[in-house]
Amino acid sequence: MNANQFLKAVSQLQGWRECAFLLALAERSFPNYALFADAVGLKTGAKMRQMLDLGWDMLQKDVAESAIPQLLAKLEALSPDVNAYDAYGVYPAFDFCQLLEQALLNRLNPTKHRATDASQMATATVMDFVEMSEGEDLDEDELVRLLDQHPLMKEDKAFQRDIVLALKRQRTPTKQFVEKLLADAANDGVSNLGISLAE
């Protein structure tokens, strides 16, 4: 699947498949939030984990529409203010919150397409991290090469592509399928930035 085919496939995701894609992106970046919250002494990691689990539950159960604005308000309260912290980690943590927000909004308004923007947002989190950690003294060509060859970038691409292919093949969100998708996205607690909850 080349880049154009991937973009087309993402743009065609709708309904539960689009929601599942958004949740998978959020799941992969969850450690970025949990580790940041831990590092700055916010006691919000477990609450955010519950929110994410509720999101996954929504793929199998109908959730009252009235419950979603409450979840969105809760999510906003748990989201870090990027201007309040000097630490770089606040940005990937905030990106996670944005992805989860898109998944919840998808349940509220399923007709608005969100997957393409979310896919780019998740990739941008990785790009920014690579640029920040390894690209400081590089010129533009060197930076392009670094991003092109970087294992984290390749992994992000492969992960997103595999999720889209799995969703295209799946007819209904069976319990088994959702569990496998969640496990793949969780990646044993290693995020899209290669940082691990186990560390």
Q: Which residues of 35-47 are buried (b: 16+ CB within 10 A; e: fewer)?
A: bbbeebebebbee
Helices 175-186 and 151-169, axial angle in degrees (round to 10): 180
- Judged against a pLDDT cut of 90, whether residue 197 lies above it is answered with no
Amino acid 199: pLDDT: 63
Contact 167, 20 (CB under 8 A): yes
Q: Per-residue pLDDT averaged across 113-141, rounded? A: 96
- Judged against a pLDDT cut of 80, whether residue 65 lies above it is answered with no
Mean model confidence pLDDT for the chain: 95
For residue 146, name the pLDDT band (cuts at 50, 70, 90). Answer: very high
What's the sign of the alpha-carbon dihedral 44, 61, 186, 179? positive
Entry pTM: 0.96
Amino acid 66: pLDDT: 83
- Judged against a pLDDT cut of 70, whether residue 80 lies above it is answered with yes
Please name which of 181, 183, 165 lies closest in space to residue 173, comparing C-alpha atoms.
181
Contacts for 121 with CB less than 8 Å, ≥ 6 apart: 25, 95, 98, 99
Amino acid 61: pLDDT: 84
Amino acid 34: pLDDT: 97
- Judged against a pLDDT cut of 80, whether residue 63 lies above it is answered with no
